[in-house]
Structure 1
Amino acid sequence: MTGTEKTTAHPAAGTVAQGLDARLVVERGAFRLDVALTAAPGDVVALLGPNGAGKTTALRALAGLVPLTGGHLRLDGRELERTPPEARPVGVVFQDYLLFPHLSALDNVAFGPRCRGASKAQARAQAAEWLDRMDLTDHAAVKPRRLSGGQAQRVALARALATRPRLLLLDEPLAALDARTRLDVRAQLRRHLAGFEAVAVLVTHDPLDAMVLADRLVVVENGHVVQEGTPAHISRHPRTDYIAHLVGLNLYRGQARGHTVRLDDGPPVATSESLTGPVFVAFPPSAVTLHRERPTGSSARNVWRCEVAGLETHGDQIRADLTGELPLAADLTAVAAAELDLHHGATVWATVKATQTHAYHA
Structure 2
Amino acid sequence: MTRPRSTTAPTEPTGAGTRTADGLDARLVVDRGAFRLDVALTAAPGDVVALLGPNGAGKTTALRALAGLVPLTDGHLRLDGVALDRTPPESRPVGVVFQDYLLFPHLTALDNVAFGPRCRGASKADARARAAAWLDRMGLADHAGAKPRRLSGGQAQRVALARALATHPRLLLLDEPLAALDARTRLEVRGRLRRHLAEFEAVAVLVTHDPLDAMVLADRLVVVEHGRVVQEGTPADVARRPRTDYVARLVGLNLYRGRADGPTVRLDAGPAVTTGEDLTGPAFVAFPPDAVTLYGERPAGSSARNLWRCEVVGLETHGDRIRADLTGELPLAADLTTVAAAELGLRPGAPVWAAVKATQTHAYPA
Q: Same fold per TM (> 0.5)?
A: yes
Distance 2:182 2:2 in 1: 24
Is residue 326 of structure 1 aligned with residue 334 of structure 2? no
Match for 2:4: what amino acid? T
Is residue 43 of structure 1 aligned with residue 36 of structure 2? no
Distance 2:225 2:3 in 1: 30
Is residue 168 of structure 1 aligned with residue 202 of structure 2? no
Distance 1:268 1:349 in 2: 16
- The equivalent of 1:151 in structure 2 is 155
8 Å Cα contact 2:5-2:199 kept in structure 1: no
8 Å Cα contact 1:6-1:42 kept in structure 2: no
Is residue 209 of structure 1 aligned with residue 213 of structure 2? yes
Q: What secondary structure, in the 3-state scheme, does the structure 2 residue paired with 1:158 have?
A: helix
Is residue 5 of structure 1 aligned with residue 43 of structure 2? no
Aligned-pair CA distance for 1:6: 6.0
Q: Where does 1:129-140 land on structure 2 (aligned, <5 Å)? A: 129-140=133-144
- The equivalent of 1:78 in structure 2 is 82
Match for 1:82: what amino acid? R
State, as a whole percentage, how many aligned pairs show the same letter.
84
Distance 2:6 2:137 in 1: 20
Match for 1:51: what amino acid? N
- The equivalent of 1:177 in structure 2 is 181
- The equivalent of 1:96 in structure 2 is 100
Aligned-pair CA distance for 1:346: 0.4
- The equivalent of 2:202 in structure 1 is 198
Distance 1:241 1:132 in 2: 44
1:183-235 Cα offsets, whole Å, 9 max, x none, are 00000000000000000000000000000000000000000000000000000
Q: What secondary structure, in the 3-state scheme, does the structure 2 residue paired with 1:132 have?
A: helix
1:13-42 Cα offsets, whole Å, 9 max, x none, are xxx970000000000000000000000000
8 Å Cα contact 1:302-1:352 kept in structure 2: yes
Match among 288, 299, 303 for residue 303 of structure 2: 299
1:215-261 Cα offsets, whole Å, 9 max, x none, are 00000000000000000000000000000000000000000001100
Is residue 188 of structure 1 aligned with residue 195 of structure 2? no
Distance 1:221 1:35 in 2: 10
Aligned-pair CA distance for 1:2: 3.4
- The equivalent of 1:269 in structure 2 is 273
- The equivalent of 2:72 in structure 1 is 68
Q: What secondary structure, in the 3-state scheme, does the structure 2 residue paired with 1:300 have?
A: coil
1:103-150 Cα offsets, whole Å, 9 max, x none, are 000000000000111100000000000000000000000000110000
Match among 309, 312, 315 for residue 311 of structure 1: 315
Aligned-pair CA distance for 1:158: 0.1
Aligned-pair CA distance for 1:5: 3.3
Distance 2:110 2:21 in 1: 35
Is residue 22 of structure 1 aligned with residue 26 of structure 2? yes
Give the TM-score normalised by structure 1: 0.97
Distance 1:215 1:252, change over 3 A: same
Q: Where does 1:118-137 land on structure 2 (aligned, <5 Å)? A: 118-137=122-141
Q: What secondary structure, in the 3-state scheme, does the structure 2 residue paired with 1:180 have?
A: helix
RMSD: 1.0
Distance 1:325 1:209 in 2: 35
Q: What secondary structure, in the 3-state scheme, does the structure 1 residue paired with 2:340 have?
A: helix
Distance 2:4 2:171 in 1: 20
Distance 1:6 1:261, change over 3 A: farther
Q: How many residues align?
A: 354
Q: What secondary structure, in the 3-state scheme, does the structure 2 residue paired with 1:251 have?
A: strand
Match for 2:277: what amino acid? E
- The equivalent of 2:232 in structure 1 is 228
Aligned-pair CA distance for 1:177: 0.2
Distance 1:133 1:356 in 2: 46
- The equivalent of 1:12 in structure 2 is none
Distance 2:83 2:299 in 1: 64
Distance 2:256 2:222 in 1: 21
* Residue ranges of structure 2 left out of the alignment (5+ in a row): 8-19
Distance 1:166 1:41 in 2: 8
Q: What secondary structure, in the 3-state scheme, does the structure 2 residue paired with 1:313 have?
A: strand
* Residue ranges of structure 1 left out of the alignment (5+ in a row): 8-15
Match among 93, 97, 108 for residue 112 of structure 2: 108
